[in-house]
């Protein structure tokens, strides 16, 4: 069975998709843009945007009873690979000593001209 997960503590979906879907002991989060759910505005710069994307991820995970410790896979989409180093610095701060597997690549363009979008898969043991 699939259960849709939604919270007002993260930006609402801007299309025909869910913020996250939980099935069994796994949750699949849609890519999170760095939009502040209170203001609807994206912060300036890749570091601030990476922090905001993770704030949104953490809010959705918390809604379903998960945390970053449950994340097993991330996909990071960047507007430009030149942003990788600064994104990676903030990314590393989000996890303890065990990092999830990850894919990271640049795309031609992200929605709303964001610099980063991050999606995750998390599993409860």
Which tens digits make up the pLDDT trace of 18-56?
Answer: 999 999 999 999 999 999 999 999 999 999 999 999 999
**What pTM, to 2 d.p., does this model score?**
0.97
**Which are the contacts of 37, defined by CB distance < 8 A and separation ≥ 6?**
8, 9, 10, 11, 12, 56, 59
Rounded percentage of the chain residues whose pLDDT exceeds 70: 100
Q: Which of the four pLDDT bands, split at 50, 70 and 90, describes residue 121?
A: very high
Check: CB of residue 75 under 8 Å from CB of residue 119. Answer: yes
Name the average pLDDT for the chain: 97
Q: What is the pLDDT of residue 125?
A: 84
| Cβ–Cβ < 8 Å for 88, 47 | no
Domains of the chain (ranges; CATH) run 3-123 (3.30.1330.40)
Q: Are 52 and 43 in contact (CB under 8 A)?
A: yes
Mean pLDDT over 58-78 rounds to 98
Please give the Cα distance from 99 to 56 (Å, whole number). Answer: 19
Q: For residues 35 and 55, what is the distance between their CA atoms, to the nearest angstrom?
A: 10
């Amino acid at each position: 069975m699939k259960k849709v997960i939604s919270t007002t503590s993260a930006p609402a979906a801007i299309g025909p998709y869910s913020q996250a879907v939980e099935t069994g002991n796994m949750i699949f989060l849609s890519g999170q843009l760095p939009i502040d759910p209170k203001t609807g505005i994206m912060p300036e710069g890749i570091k601030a945007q990476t922090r905001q994307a993770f704030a949104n991820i953490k809010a959705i995970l918390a809604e379903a009873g998960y945390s970053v410790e449950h994340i097993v896979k991330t996909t990071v989409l960047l507007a430009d690979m030149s942003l990788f180093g600064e994104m990676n610095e903030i990314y590393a701060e989000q996890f303890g000593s065990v990092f999830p597997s990850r894919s990271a690549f640049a795309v031609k363009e992200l929605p709303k001209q964001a610099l980063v979008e991050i999606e995750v898969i998390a599993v409860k043991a």
